Structure formats: structure tokens, C-alpha cells
Amino acid sequence: METLAREDWQTREAAHAARADRLTAAHRARRADGRAHPVEDFLFTYYRFSPGQLRRWHPGASIRLADAAGMPRADWRFYRQVGGNVELDHAAYLEKRGGTVEFVRALLTATAGRPAQLGCFGLHEWAMVYRQPAEEVRHAGWPLRLGSEGTDAVVEGQRIRCTHFDAFRFYTPEARPLNVVQPTRERQVELEQPGCLHAGMDLYKWAAKLSPALPSELVLDCFEHARAIRELDMRAAPYDLSELGYEPVPIETPAGRAEYAAAQRQFAVRGQALRARLLTAIDALSPSPIPAQGT
């Protein structure tokens, strides 16, 4: 357990809050005006971790904060006072979230040990609108670049091989049988692989879910990674988002598929580095697997 002097941890706390404010400024402004954004809002509407939660700084499981007793932080959930200092209450945290900790450890470890598969070309977004009436399309306010028939033709002309259940579950009923594998929640640890864009975005989900036991700087690093992936995800989607400044990655062409795979490879490398950091932080919380206590 490392002890941070009050001046040091308050400096880190302020730097984190300023960084979080910069990263969430556009979303917060749109929310105040009642506007929506089909790309950037996803990280807040799907993952359900608010800008305020993202802004709150936590040092992680292996840091004790000197001279923090008597401050509001001492009363936050899963914290405890030790003399004049404040630290994460490991026992209380693991009692409530031990099952989540072990599931995330198992998932990240399994994913990190597999080679990246780079042949999906973002077709999951196309499968989500396959043979769907225009009024039921997920982002109905934005036109399909190739129209409905052209979009369906791309799905039918490619081999769809999505391994991520939380993408697959949004397929249209007609698209599901076209997928090479049939992901389920129960097979998530078995199937998840580091080349998957959604597995890369989910690094932010797992980091946020394990808060406050993880360093908040790591949570923000995962947030930035997820935001960059989301942009590629939607540039490769069937929608025309040029009005928002997004140039399409035309995965219906050989050049577009090559561009997508190259970007996907880079994200896979960055994702593996983040997985390693997440696993190190989990080990600082719980060095060995513990009995599941529920998620």
C-alpha cells in the first residue's frame, strides 16, 4: 500500500477532473440543449456511466490518501478511514463485487490470450438493419449510404463472423442465421477476442464497473480508447454521417475493408496494453481468484 501525501493526491485529483471535463464537454453541452449525437453519445447512453461519475477521482486499490479523514471522500462507498488517512476498503468491496471482479478477470485473461481476428469488417452494424423497415432502423434520422436494398446486398454478399454477443443480440432476426457463430452470454468468455471493436470499447465498461477499485486515470484512458473505436465503428456503418464530418469507411469495397482492418489492428494492439493494465489493477485488489459473491 503506497501512501500519497495530501498535496500529491489533490494534484492528481484536480488534473483528473480537468481532463474528464474536457472529454465530456461536448456531450454535456448537447445534453443541456436537448440535442443528441449518434456517435459520441453512445458511451454515455449504452454504458450508463455519467460524466459526473467519470469526473470523480479514485486512486485505486493500492493507494492510501494521507490526511483525507474528515473530507467527504471518507464517507464515500467502499472507502474507510485508517487513522487520519483514507483508503479503499478491500473487504467491503470484494464482499459486494467479488463475482464481478472474477468475471472480468476471467474475460480479460481469456481475451488477451487469443490472436486478433480482423475479418469482420464492421458488418455487425449492417446486420442490425438488414431487411428492416425504414422506420425501425436504429439511427432512423440518418440515411443509409447505399439505401435499404444496397445495404441488404452487402450483408448477403459478405461472410459475417461477429464474435461479440452484445453486438450480435441487436441483429435483425433475418441476419442472425447469417452469422458464422451464434454468440450467447454464456459463451462470452469462450468467444471474445482482441480484434473485436466492441470488446475494445467494453474495456471502458469493465473499468467503469470496477470503479472505485481502479485508478481513475486508467478508466479515462479506456474511455478515450472506446471513443476512438466508436468513431471507426460508425464510419464503417451503413449510415451517411458526412453531415457530422465523418468520412465513411466503405467496407463494401476492397479498399474500405483494407482500411478497416488496418485501423482494427491498431486498436487491437492498444486494447491489449489496456487489458494488461486492467489485469494488473485487478491483481492489486485481489491477487488470487476469490469466491464469487454476486455481480
pLDDT at 38: 87
Looking at residue 290, its pLDDT comes to: 54
| 294 secondary structure, DSSP code | -
- Between CA 1 and CA 20 the distance in angstroms is 26
pLDDT of 226 reads: 97
Report pLDDT for 228.
97
Pairing of strands 79-82, 63-65: unpaired
Q: Which residues pair with 88 in a beta bridge?
A: 79
Query: What is the C-alpha separation between 87 and 97, in angstroms, rounded?
Result: 17
Q: Is residue 226 part of a domain?
A: yes
Report the pLDDT value the prediction gives residue 289, as an integer from 0 to 100: 61
Q: Decide if 292 is inside a domain.
A: no
Give just the sign of the alpha carbon dihedral 193, 265, 275, 104. Answer: negative
Here the contacts of 157-163 (C-beta below 8 Å, separation 24 or greater) are 158/121, 158/123, 159/119, 160/120, 160/123, 160/124, 160/127, 161/117, 161/119, 161/120, 162/120, 162/123, 162/124, 162/127, 162/196, 163/117, 163/120, 163/191, 163/192, 163/193, 163/196
pLDDT score of 286:
82
If the chain, 295 residues long, is cut into consecutive pieces of 10 residues, what is the mean pLDDT of each piece?
A: 95 98 94 87 90 96 93 92 94 95 97 94 95 78 92 95 94 96 95 96 97 97 97 96 94 96 97 98 80 44
Spatial separation of the C-alpha atoms in residues 89 and 64, rounded to whole Å: 10
Asked whether residue 291 is domain-assigned, the answer is no
Do the domain assignments include residue 256?
yes
Q: What integer pLDDT is reported at residue 293 of this predicted model?
A: 44
- Non-local CB neighbours of 156 within 8 Å, separated by 6+ positions: 178
As for how many domains the chain has, the answer is 1
Q: pTM, whole model, 2 decimals?
A: 0.93
The pLDDT of residue 295 is 41
Which pLDDT value is given to residue 1? 83
Residue 293, in any domain of the structure: no
Considering Cα of 208, then 214, then 216, then 217, what sign does the dihedral take? negative
| Domain region containing 54 | 2-285
Q: Is residue 9 part of a domain?
A: yes
pLDDT at residue 292, rounded to an integer: 45
* Cα separation, 115 vs 134, whole angstroms: 38
In a domain, 290, yes or no: no
pLDDT of residue 193: 96
In the prediction, which pLDDT does 57 show?
97
